[in-house]
Amino acid sequence: MAVADEDDHWTWTAPGAQAVFTTREGGVSPAPLDSLNVGLHVGDDPANVLANRTHAAALLGLDPSHVAGVTQVHGADVWLDLARTDELPREVRWDGGRSSVDADALVTTRAEVALAVGIADCMPIAIVWGPAIAAIHAGWRSLEGGVIEATLAVLRRAAGNAVATDTPHAVIGPALGACCMEVGDDVAARFDAPVVVRRDGAPRPFLDTRADALRRLEAAGCVVEHVDVCTKDDPRCFSHRGDSGLGGRQAMLVRRA
């Protein structure tokens, strides 16, 4: 496995899969969404979003009609691609409007298809297990709700006999780091002590969601890599907190290699 920094995106290669993590650079959207915004719900012109999604999909050699995305709701539901047609269902295609499917993870075994999530501080996670791949959008609510565990359960079913012989590989992409994820005591109390960071002089605790995700993935036997970037600290990234809620969304896309 390997993670490479390509300046305007990161790439991950693993046995049987490839993933890309876009930055905010290289698109057509105007400020404050400049420029590679892939989110349809942040006030951007849909034509700009489609152009940006086309650019992002091309990084994996695809067009948006072969990329699946859902409406992310900070839950733990998983969309499983069971269609037997050559085309993706229209309601999840990246070249359509905002998806009517509410979920925070996607799983498929289909070749020539990518799965996508949009991010601006939450963690993007890609997993490959035999013939099956998954894309996860994991904020603290989804982590607490078990989105990683739910996705792995669906992956096990989708991977079939491969679970007995193949090791799952995962990558955690750019996300808000423990340096910047200040939370209330009520949120911190929902997580195990090792992922709660308390600093002298800080009135509130900080949450290390990356460490929490790593613990969950490794407990399931995953080999895990990282794009070790905090979205608020890296100016290449959109950040919901850093942009005061006015920025766009970058993407993670994963496909079978």
pLDDT in tens, 88-134: 999 999 999 999 999 999 999 999 999 999 999 999 999 999 999 99
What does the alpha-carbon distance between residue 73 and residue 26 come to, in Å, rounded to a whole number?
A: 27
CATH number of the domain encompassing residue 185: 3.60.140.10
pLDDT in tens, 146-183: 999 999 999 999 999 988 899 999 999 999 999 999 99
CA 42 to chain centre: 18
- Structural domain range at position 91: 2-256
At position 247, the amino acid (one-letter code) is G
The answer for residues whose C-beta is within 8 angstroms of residue 35's C-beta and 6 or more apart is: 24, 25, 26, 27, 28, 29, 52
The answer for residues whose C-beta is within 8 angstroms of residue 101's C-beta and 6 or more apart is: 70, 71, 79, 91, 92
Per the listing, tokens 């994991």 go with 138
Asked whether 111 and 221 are in contact (CB, 8 A), the reply is no
The torsion region of residue 213 among left (phi > 0), alpha (psi -120 to 50) and beta comes to alpha
The answer for residues whose C-beta is within 8 angstroms of residue 66's C-beta and 6 or more apart is: 57, 88, 112, 113, 114
The pairing of strands 196-197 and 206-207 is: antiparallel
pLDDT at residue 109, as a whole number: 94
40, 93, 195, 257 from 67: Cα distances, Å: 15, 6, 34, 14
What does the alpha-carbon distance between residue 103 and residue 4 come to, in Å, rounded to a whole number?
A: 29
Domain count across the chain: 1
pLDDT in tens, 124-150: 999 999 999 999 999 999 999 999 999
Cα Rg of the chain, angstroms: 17
Nearest to 27 by CA among 5, 1, 46, 48: 48
The answer on pLDDT for 248 being more than 80 is yes
